[in-house]
A and B are shown apart, each in its own frame.
Chain A
Amino acid sequence: MENESTISRPPTGLEKFFNISFRVSAYAFGWLTVIVVLYVIGKISWEAVPAMQEHGLGFITGRTWDANTGEYGILPEIWGTLYSSVLALIIGTLFGVSVAVFLAEGFLSGFVFWVLKFFGLQYHSVLGKLPDALEQLLKNLIELLAAIPSVVYGLWGIFVLIPLIRPACNWLHNQFEWIPFFSTSLPGPGMLPAALVLSVMILPTISAISRDALVAVPPKLREASYGLGATRWETILAVIVPTAGTGIFGAVILAFGRALGETMALAMLVGNSNEMSLSLFSPANTLAALLANNFPEAGEKDLPVLMFAALVLLVITLVVNILGAWVLQRASSGMEVDR
């Protein structure tokens, strides 16, 4: 080259070599991710094959788990997994979506601004930043709920939550025994404390994703609604939430997936007893808790059976998670068309 400059020059052979090896290894790691996922799923399925051949479908419909007689069934665990997750989802959705609306609409910063304005301080150099700062703080605090390890929630549940709700639960049981939900007393660990802790753990998932969906609603829809004379809450309930509906639904499904796979809080709080009951206070068991309790001491005989149970859990969570991801994908592509 004639005008060779010191800043720009074509790459040397060594640099080309590094470039090619970088590209190749990036592709390799990309492929490796796919392979790892397939390997993880394949490994668990492969280990479950012996139990599948031996127990077949009876494993899923059986109701006893007895290592001595070699009789294994996980219907109570499947029931417990679904029941606890659905209960947690009902509470978690009510709270999560309300929190998401509260955050997305900026109620807190509006309120703080109003208070500041009352004192005439809304443009103060430090205090004027307070509305946004508090809003951010609230958002971070909600997200910190997810940061607390589940085993700590479990510990808190055992020593604080269960003693706290037990009198109320037993009173409900004594007064309304004829309602199936209250048909047993709360002996200690049980379905309700487990579901309550579970709902706390999935709340941040629901509120974070729903908030994103609510914020993504095009502002012109909101303005059109105000223009027609709707109040703020009429706009939220009739325009914003329905428009963000798919996104909120996706958030709920993803939270459901998390609840299904959550282990420690349930292993510590649900009571680990092989029962199927509609009662909120009865001890129960879940697939994840079953694995957590039996795996450390698993012998030759138990191992394939536990692997089969793990495979069932894997299939349930995979289906729910893929469904959730698909719904969210559709929600976000729908929003882009609207704009």
Chain B
Amino acid sequence: MVVETGAGTGNFKQRDVSELDLRDLERDLRRPRTLVSVTLTIFTATITILALVPLFAVIIMLVYRGGKGLCWEIFTQLPPAAFEEGGGFGNAIVGTFVMVGIAALISIPFGIMGALFLAEVGPESRIARFVRFSAKVLTGFPSILAGVFAYSAIVLWTGGFSSVAGGVALSILMLPTIMLTAAEAVKMVPSKMREAAIGMGATQAQTVWYVMLPTALPGILTGVMLAIARAAGETAPLLFTALFSNYWLTSGEQLDLMQPTASLAVLIYNFSGMPFENQVEMAWTAALVLVLLVLTTNLIGQAFSRRTVQD
């Protein structure tokens, strides 16, 4: 049998090689199949390069038009009035930090506790499905509707635009990002580590506090940084919750969070529509500062994600 098969294959090969047109095996651009392959490869490569054009075009324009106005006064002075020269947007930078800070204070503990529930305390429970679903619904929630909600819940209730209302609106947008990435990070903690802690007699709270959270920290921080970066650039939820202000965030000498607050994003929006040269230039400079802030936060977040512990 074996010999026969071997002989058979041998014959087959010999006959085939003699009849084979070797040109059929060549990769040649004149053949339609190769041509299609090469064309499509070049096509996708071109499209990928084209897709990156807006990124670089925006960054180059920001550096070119925004870089001119970059000076120290920008960070210390108040926005200029119409026809006024100079000025800065120190209050908008402070306002952005304050509101993102308020949002972070609400959404980080909330998000991490929710994530611990999803990943550790009750992943199999029936409400976990609802919680996960709710978080996913919030991920796709239009940012302007977070503003509408904060307007009806906080602005109408307290009777005025305030940085607290802006912070609440931003926290709704930060919550799902923090919760879902933190849940993923906690799930990635090797089960050996968790079981070892339980085997030592640690309670669930101790396991979470001493083992799970420290191990999952890089992943959680990635989510937090991404959420902060997103919130810092959001404009729509701040338009009618924090509104805008030409002054510092104080009344008398005290920090006052219950008054209209300027933010970089709203400043860019307001000034971009103005007919005054100085304001438009200021919008570009503010955009450069905002993009630098957002990209730095983003890159820090990505740096954390590379330190995630693998199983």
Contact = CB atoms under 8 A, between A and B. Distances in A.
A26 B208 CA distance: 11
Contacts of A234: 33, 37
Contacts of B61: 156, 159-160
B122 A148 contact: no
B61 to A, nearest CB: 6
A260 B40 CA distance: 31
Contacts, number: 266
Interface string B15-51: 0000000000000000001101100110111011011
B194 to A, nearest CB: 15
Interface in A128-178: 138, 140-142, 144-145, 147-156, 158-160
B121 A23 contact: yes
Interface of B: 33-34, 36-37, 40-41, 43-45, 47-48, 50-52, 54-55, 57-58, 61-62, 65, 110, 113-114, 116-118, 120-122, 127-128, 130-131, 133-149, 151-153, 172, 175, 179, 199-206, 208, 229-230, 232-236, 239-240, 243, 265, 268-269, 272-273, 280, 283-284, 287, 290-291, 294-295, 298, 302
B24 to A, nearest CB: 11
Nearest to B149: A40
Nearest to B244: A296
12 contacts: A47-B152, A107-B44, A142-B51, A145-B55, A147-B298, A151-B268, A152-B62, A159-B284, A160-B57, A254-B140, A295-B147, A295-B240
Given A33-B179, A98-B43, A147 B137 contact: no
Nearest to B155: A295
A27 interface: yes
Contacts of B265: 149, 151, 264
Contacts of A154: 268-269, 272
| Interface residue SS majority, chain A | helix
A296 B140 CA distance: 24
A233 B36 CA distance: 8
B144 A261 contact: yes
A236 B273 CA distance: 46
Given A43-B153, A151-B265, A151-B268, A203 B51 contact: yes
B121 to A, nearest CB: 4
Given A37-B134, A152-B58, A138 B117 contact: no
Contact of A296 (B137, B202, B239): B239
A260 B142 contact: yes
Nearest 3 interchain pairs by C-beta: A261-B142, A149-B233, A321-B140
Nearest to A237: B40
Contacts of A268: 269, 272-273
Contacts of B230: 147
B149 A33 contact: no
B144 A30 contact: no
A44 interface: yes
A101 B37 CA distance: 13
A70 to B, nearest CB: 21
A288 B51 contact: no
Contact of A95 (B47, B144, B204, B206): B47
A144 B44 contact: no
Interface stretch (A4-12, A54-62, A273-281): A4-12
